[in-house]
Amino acid sequence: MKTRFSLIVLALLATALPALAQVPSFDAEVDCDGIFMGGDSVPFVLEFQNQTLEQKQISFTLALSIPGVGDRTMTERTLSLGPDQDRIVSRQFNLPGGAPNGNYTLSITASDGVEMTFDTCSFNVVN
């Protein structure tokens, strides 16, 4: 009976392990929205979460997709997150006076060298 119970427990663990293995060890998100005009300041928030008990080095790229122009890299940086640490960074950037009308997409791509995450947000420019 003990052997059968052990086999059942092992089978249950084996089915649970793939789900556990897919839990990301960190996350990076970007948040923005609203309607703006050329020359306005556009606020956005970056949030980084280390969901492990180890120190993490996160490299990230923040890019802006401009209607009719294409993608532009805004920044490329590396930051260090302590165990189970969250970091929220509020920033803004200024639109040029003649910014094209349309839907802009701000995206973040982040990696710890093993895993990668991606997030986007968008806002509109109406002149």
Whether residue 52 is predicted with pLDDT greater than 90 in this model: the reply is yes
Mean pLDDT value of segment 102-113: 97
In 3-state terms, the chain is what percent helix, strand and coil (to 5)? 15, 55, 30
Ranges of each domain in the chain: 24-125
**Which phi and psi (to 5°) does residue 11 adopt?**
-65, -40
What is the rounded CA–CA span in Å between residue 81 and residue 102?
A: 35
Q: Answer for the pair 44, 91: CB distance below 8 angstroms, yes or no.
A: yes
Query: pLDDT digit string (tens) for 8-48?
Result: 544 545 555 544 455 679 999 999 999 999 999 999 999 99
The pLDDT assigned to 22 comes to 58
Whether residue 104 is predicted with pLDDT greater than 90 in this model: the reply is yes
Fold of 24-125: Immunoglobulin-like (2.60.40)
Query: pLDDT digit string (tens) for 65-95?
Result: 999 999 999 999 999 999 999 999 999 999 9
| pTM over cut 0.85 | no
